[in-house]
């Protein structure tokens, strides 16, 4: 029996500016926190940086033609804040905006819907030097930047995303230190989480004030499908703690206008939360046209007893470092059973189903979009130059079948964005992990669509999930 998706379902791919653009010092662009971090010895595997990345800045037109050849409906890209506003405040770089104007024009010319993400982790270094996201001022600067980009592109871009995965920005960047800016201060990470929330709310207001009535505003969250290892009260409490600091720290104020009280109690030894000012939760809770969900793998947790399970340190799936879970020091993580990707993440699409159904119940009437889903595998070209990636196709098939099941059970899922369009700079892993549907030769920067790209193109063209026979 074939699996058909609803008419109008959006099929897209996704990237992030620092991961693909390169041209790190061109057009007035100044360093972001990721430039600084990647150039700091020992922070990124093999000393890799995004200075060149996959040179999308210079290969933009060819990359858009490649997407068109693959029949992609939509492209989710991010804008580099320091390319547009080099100091994070004040003067605007018109040459930086011109790059995104040209990108949007190319996409529209080829019938591809642009979905613009304002922030995918590349804070201007000058703002970090002034305190970064733990400082309230950064939220106001982000709203100003949002207005600048909306005034430049709002006549052509309908779909806008404020933040991508603020959990990573706050807790990998300021708590565990495995992402830029590499700080290890749990109290600062909680301040960062709040100011990212506030930045989202203020940016959404700024977008609404500039965009035409057709403009759509969203946010993309890497929501954690958290499961207790057993039904014991201690394990259930461990799950509650991770849900609080992994999910509800963002969905509480964004969807309901309030932080969860148990999060305050869990983290009272770290902060008194007085940085949350009167009116902040209401400012954060802005109307959304959709909620973006990024999903890769579930988490299984228990109460920590002795040496059982993985400690919170390094259990985030993004490398070593300190714990990214403030207030959850007594929680242990366990590897879910099943096959794993090259990231060591268990392949388990049931976690995506659980998230889609949970937020269907929690936010009825709010459309959902899967804004990231995909897998890294050690893809290598065959002797004839082709790149076959049956593991990725199997991963995508399983997850998309699960999305369809959620839709049949009442989830209002409007689209799916494959991560990623092409192999690129995978943050602290450098160029060692390949998530792309398009293979990139990092010596020549040649692009070669993998089998999964052709498989996904067929899905985008027909709306019918192709089988995996012969893989």
Q: Catalytic residues, which ones?
A: 165, 372
Residue 398 sits at φ, ψ, to 5 deg, of -65, -45
* 333 within 8 A of 318, measured Cβ to Cβ: no
Q: What is the DSSP string of 72-109?
A: -SEEEEE--HHHHSTTSSS---HHHHHHHHHHHHHHHH
Neighbour count for residue 378 (Cβ, 10 Å): 11
Tokens 């005034």, residue located:
151
Rounded Cα–Cα distance for residues 247 and 352 (Å): 14
Residue 244 per-residue DSSP state:
I
Across the strands, what pairs with 124? 32
Which pair of structure tokens corresponds to residue 12? 């897209």
Distance, C-alpha 63 to centroid of its chain: 21
Across the strands, what pairs with 368? 291, 413
Per 3-state DSSP, the chain is made up of helix, strand and coil in percentages (nearest 5) of: 40, 15, 45
Number of residues assigned to the chain: 471
Rounded Cα–Cα distance for residues 111 and 74 (Å): 8
Helix (H) or strand (E) holding 115: strand 113-119
Neighbour count for residue 53 (Cβ, 10 Å): 25
* HEC per residue, 295-358: CCCCEEEEECCCCCCECCCCCCCCCCCCCCCCCCCCEEEECCCCCECCCCCECCCHHHHHHHHH
Which pair of structure tokens corresponds to residue 374? 């995909």
Identify the three-state secondary structure at position 250: helix
Rounded Cα–Cα distance for residues 112 and 305 (Å): 52
Rounded Cα–Cα distance for residues 197 and 219 (Å): 10
**Rg of the chain over CA atoms, in angstroms?**
21
Rounded Cα–Cα distance for residues 388 and 449 (Å): 9
Across the strands, what pairs with 75? 13, 114
Between the two ends of the chain, the Cα-to-Cα distance in Å is 19
């Amino acid at each position: 029996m074939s699996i058909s998706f609803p008419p109008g379902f959006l099929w897209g791919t996704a990237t992030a500016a620092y991961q693909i653009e390169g041209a790190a010092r061109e057009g007035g662009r100044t360093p972001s926190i990721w430039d600084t971090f990647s150039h700091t010895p020992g922070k990124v595997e093999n000393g890799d940086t995004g200075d060149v990345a996959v040179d999308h800045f210079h290969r933009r037109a060819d990359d858009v033609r490649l997407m068109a050849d693959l029949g992609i409906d939509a492209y989710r890209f991010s804008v580099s804040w320091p390319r547009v506003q080099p100091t994070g405040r004040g003067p605007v770089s018109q040459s930086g905006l011109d790059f995104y104007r040209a990108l949007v024009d190319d996409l529209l010319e080829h019938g591809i819907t642009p979905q613009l993400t304002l922030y995918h982790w590349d804070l201007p270094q000058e703002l970090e030097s002034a305190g970064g996201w733990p400082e309230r001022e950064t939220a106001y600067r982000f709203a100003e930047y949002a207005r600048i980009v909306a005034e430049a592109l709002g006549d052509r871009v309908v779909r806008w995303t404020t933040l991508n995965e603020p959990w990573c920005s706050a807790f990998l960047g300021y708590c565990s230190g495995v992402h830029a800016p590499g700080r290890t201060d749990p109290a600062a990470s909680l301040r960062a989480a709040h100011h990212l929330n506030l930045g989202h709310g203020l940016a959404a207001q700024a977008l609404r004030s500039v965009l035409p009535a057709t403009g759509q505003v969203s946010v993309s969250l890497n929501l954690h499908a958290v499961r207790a290892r057993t039904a014991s009260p201690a394990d259930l409490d461990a799950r509650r703690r991770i849900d609080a600091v992994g999910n509800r720290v963002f969905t509480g104020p964004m969807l309901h206008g309030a932080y969860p009280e148990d999060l305050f109690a869990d983290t009272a030894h770290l902060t008194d939360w007085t940085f949350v000012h009167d009116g902040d939760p209401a400012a954060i809770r802005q109307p959304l046209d959709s909620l973006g969900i990024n999903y890769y793998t579930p988490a299984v947790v228990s109460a920590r007893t002795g040496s059982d399970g993985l400690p919170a340190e390094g259990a985030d799936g993004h490398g070593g470092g300190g714990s990214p879970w403030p207030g959850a020091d007594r929680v242990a993580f366990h590897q879910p059973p099943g096959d794993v990707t090259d990231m060591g993440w268990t392949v388990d699409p049931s976690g995506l189903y659980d998230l889609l159904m949970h937020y269907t119940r929690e936010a009825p009437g709010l459309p959902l979009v899967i804004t990231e889903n995909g897998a890294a595998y050690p893809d290598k070209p065959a002797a004839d130059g082709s790149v076959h990636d049956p593991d990725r196709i199997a991963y995508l098939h399983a997850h998309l079948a699960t999305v369809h099941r959620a839709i049949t059970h009442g989830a209002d899922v409007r689209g799916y964005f494959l991560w990623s369009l092409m192999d690129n700079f995978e943050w602290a892993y450098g160029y060692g992990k390949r998530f792309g549907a398009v293979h990139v030769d990092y010596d020549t920067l040649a692009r070669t669509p993998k089998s999964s790209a052709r498989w996904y193109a067929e899905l985008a063209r027909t709306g019918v999930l192709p089988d995996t026979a012969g893989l």
